[in-house]
Structure 1
């Protein structure tokens, strides 16, 4: 299991763009946000025991060594964008010529 050594905070700027800040430790986050608990149910075992902060969604994994936290607004926006994304249409391979459909006869 890789050691998590980057802590990423994603917020929104006044113009609507995303602001991403990376920190090498949890120390600056502990001073800026109020810890309300610890993660104890993540499927990524490296996140278990990580702090949960008031006003942030997370922790969530991003790559092997990054722990990501997002504001609620960013989380909601990115989730909506993800939900609206159209899946690529797959084309079916043409049926082999000369094939017959076999059905059950009664």
Structure 2
């Protein structure tokens, strides 16, 4: 039952992202039990422009680490000249580590 809910949530989120992704780059988030990863993807060319992960950053709690990943990704995106993205949270709820990453990326200068 929980797996069906996760799949439906993932498809619902991706449907909304697909509509907006035509003109913007996509900020994709992957969360594991220990780490969180984020990358900015150009779907038209199939290339990753910027990426950041918690495996390279060691800070306090998981939420603090997610915030550091968001800031690092925003800096990498600014270096590439990226300002506008569409946020692809995938199957994850906008809560906790995913929310911390998104808010830190917004503070870093990304617009989504």
TM over 0.5: no
Larger relative contact order, structure 1 or 2 (CA cutoff 8 Å, min sep 6): 2
TM-score of the superposed pair, with normalisation by structure 1: 0.29
TM-score of the superposed pair, with normalisation by structure 2: 0.27
Q: Which protein shows a greater Rg?
A: 1
**The structure with more helix, counted as a fraction of residues:** 2
